[in-house]
Amino acid sequence: MRSRLRAAARATAVLTAAALVCGACSIGSSVPTPWADRPVVTLAFDVPADLQSVRGQERVEFTPDLATCELVFRAWPNKPATSAAGDSLVVQRAAVDGRQAELVDVASGAPDDAPAGTLLRIPLDDCLEPGQRVTVDLDFTLQLGPDVDERVGTSSTLDVAWFGTAFPLLAWVRGRGWDSDPAVAVTGEMAVSEDFQLASLDVTAPSSYAVTGAGRLVGTTEGAAAGTTRHRFTASAVRDVTVSVGDLEVAERRINGVQVHLAADRAADASTLAEWAAQIRTSMDSLVTLLGPFPYDDLWVTVLSSESSGIEFPGAVQFADVDVSTRSALVTHELAHMWFHGLVGSDQGTDPWLDESFATFAQLVADGQSSPTDQPSGAARDDVGETMAYWLRFRQPSSVYYDTVYTEGGAALVEARDRAGHAAFDDALRSYLRDNAYSVATPADVAAAFADLPEALAVLRRVGALPPP
């Protein structure tokens, strides 16, 4: 989710000692393992030299835990904010287990003039039973709008393009089924996705361009077309991916056992890559002390002069061109999302506070702040836990949403920690992260994690993050 600082049933997590080791950790290094039957996704992007559009192919091997008679994917570039800026994602073909399949395009909040909707339904000839595996193949085209201050765009003056959440995203949530909530015109995300195994992410682009991706870079090979290179990435468990392509300055750093891949477009000059690396180290050190081991072996950071803030992805961040000495909170906030959104997912449309309030809280504590620096303009609110659609009732929905969910929600969690005691609260928070790793958490999971800390629960109920007992 953008930042101006800026589960239901699930498989039982099995702890594994040595799954991830982080040199700055002040607590144990064990992390849960991903669930065994997670979807397996293969993605391929073909990026032309003009960086205006992308051809994509996707294969998803999916095993539902509930019976279903359809498949549902989300096309989030068609949401109001990005569609209005010239972005689009259109699926041209679908096949299920090798047979051509029907495509039902549903607007679901996309603007009337958008070339496609945000929701794609694929009816199945034969319904799936729980545990029955199916393979889906999709061909799609991604159009990139110029200078979009969002997760999908291309520069009108530089040779650089970026695209995150820019593929048909499987919309299944274990124990619940398909997510089909319509997109709304509020600045923020509405995506919900279970973790999937990224079998491979192939990005083919002109050989003169640098490419950033997700997970581990396996290597590069010659592309099918002359003068192109294929970059292959893989990841054990992610719930989203982002890619940047173009004339980028790049650097590598090893920080606390994490391979950090840094890239910046040629107009980004507010901070050097060395300064970015130093601030990432500082922010990561503090967050690891608070939350536990960093959830990913690789972190991909791209600095884009068209952006104004930060946008998080599992194991990756798109940052604005900012002076990190004065905007260090932005770095800490976005890195906090590696735990709140990356490791522990949430339905961002239904429960946006589960990632944004917690990320703001983690940033405040990690940076040693007692409260947010930008206090809300009005009185304290009691609707922190509302859905994204709720904020449409206000004249300035995005501003009120930010003031409430980010600022008020983050401050409430700081207060809850103070009232419950830092040690007890932090222990419960780490248990919440461990118990809900690789899942889509709900407010009920927060209530369960803090059940022995009534002082903390009282604060969260007062601001509307949790319902009354």
Q: What is the CATH number of the domain that holds 29?
A: 1.10.390
Once rounded to an integer, what is the mean pLDDT over residues 121-145?
Answer: 98
**Residue 446, C-beta contacts closer than 8 angstroms, at least 6 positions apart:** 354, 432, 460, 465, 466
Residue 435 lies in a domain: yes
Question: What phi and psi, each to the nearest 5 degrees, are found at residue 146?
Answer: -80, 130
- % of the chain with per-residue pLDDT over 90: 90
**Residue 32, C-beta contacts closer than 8 angstroms, at least 6 positions apart:** 13, 14, 15, 16, 434, 437, 438
What's the pLDDT score for residue 469?
Answer: 87
Inter-axis angle of helices 409-420 and 454-462, nearest 10: 160
What's the pLDDT score for residue 13?
Answer: 34
Residue 63 lies in a domain: no
pLDDT, tens digit (0-9, with 9 covering 90-100), for 40-82: 999 999 999 999 999 999 999 999 999 999 999 999 999 999 9
pLDDT, tens digit (0-9, with 9 covering 90-100), for 168-187: 999 999 999 999 999 999 99
Q: Which of 432, 407, 1 is nearest to 191 (CA)?
A: 1
392: containing domain = 15-33+343-462
Residue 381 lies in a domain: yes
Whether the predicted model's global pTM rises above the 0.85 cut: yes
Residue 439 lies in a domain: yes
What's the pLDDT score for residue 189?
Answer: 87
Residue 433 lies in a domain: yes
- Rounded to the nearest 10°, the torsion over CA 195, 196, 200, 205 is -50
Residue 184 lies in a domain: no
Q: Which of 40, 112, 74 is nearest to 349 (CA)?
A: 74
Once rounded to an integer, what is the mean pLDDT over residues 394-418?
Answer: 96
d(CA 231, CA 141): 19
Residue 418 lies in a domain: yes
Once rounded to an integer, what is the mean pLDDT over residues 367-391?
Answer: 75
- CA distance from start to end of the chain: 29
Residue 26 lies in a domain: yes
Q: Which residues pair with 134 in a beta bridge?
A: 62
Once rounded to an integer, what is the mean pLDDT over residues 12-22?
Answer: 33
pLDDT, tens digit (0-9, with 9 covering 90-100), for 418-452: 999 999 999 999 999 999 999 999 999 999 999 99
Domain count, the chain: 1
Once rounded to an integer, what is the mean pLDDT over residues 453-462?
Answer: 98
d(CA 402, CA 383): 12
Written as six digits, the tokens of 408 are 């008020």
From the CB of residue 370, how many other CB atoms can be counted at a distance below 10 Å? 10
